Amino acid sequence: MPLLDCIEISSDDAIRNSVIWLHGLGADGNDFAPVVRELALPHTRFILPHAQAIPVTVNHGYTMPAWYDIYSFEPGAAQDGDGIRATQEKVEALIANELARGIPSQRIMLAGFSQGGVIALHTALRHPAPLAGVLGLSTYLALADSLSIEKHAANQHIPIFMAHGTLDNVIPLARYHASAQALQSQGYSLELHEYPMPHSVCMEEIGDIRGFMKQQLGLSLT
């Protein structure tokens, strides 16, 4: 499988960790490049892939970068399981590429915002080797009904960071709470954060992300 087109950002040449970070609907890998530079983590390579452009049903079939189709923003709406799983395979290929570059799975982390967070959570919980952690930012748990049979024991104890804005009018706070509860019911431990922001990222959140990555990747930061 050909790899997704990506941007790569690292602060030095002594790379020991990799973070694969997926953007939200309608954006591209450049969207979180400023956040990655703000984090300024040593010994860490950030891989920021670009989603391919596809028609998105909820946006009247308009073609835009998307990790999967969205039929409706309503919580109980049908979900594009085929599209989610197809993108899961592409992220798995990125993980395999980092393994081939000498980064062990325990030092590979997945992160994503909104639609990208859906893919990050979906992939990490099903990955067959232990990962360093997963961050779901302003997102939700998709295909929750299949998690109990698809999750992999290797990542049953994966560190999970989830954060959401209390003023989010795209993915309501209630859906974030329901997703967190669904994960906890499957035995996952979560680090949960809420911020007074809309569907976006704030500086306080970036600080908390930095602390989570520092801890889970074993980095010593001043």
Listed residue (103, 129, 124) closest to 190, CA to CA: 124
Catalytic residue among 177, 199, 200, 208, which?
Answer: 199
- Using the structure block, give the residue that is written with the tokens 């703000």: 38
CB atoms within 10 A of CB 128: 10
CA atoms within 13 A on the CB side of 66: 17
DSSP symbol at 31: G
Catalytic residue among 114, 138, 164, 179, which?
Answer: 114
Beta bridge partners of 135: 111, 161
Would you call 168 a catalytic residue per the annotation? yes
Q: How deeply is 199 buried, as exposed, middle or buried, from its count of CB atoms within 10 A (0-12, 13-18, 19+)?
A: middle
Catalytic residue among 18, 122, 168, 179, which?
Answer: 168
For CA atoms 104, 96, 135, 187, give the dihedral sign: negative
Residue 186 sits at φ, ψ, to 5 deg, of -95, 5
CA 2, chain centre distance (Å): 21
Would you call 50 a catalytic residue per the annotation? no
Would you call 179 a catalytic residue per the annotation? no
Query: Residues 21, 67, 217, CA angle at the centre, nearest 5°?
Result: 20
- Give me the active site residues, please: 114, 168, 199
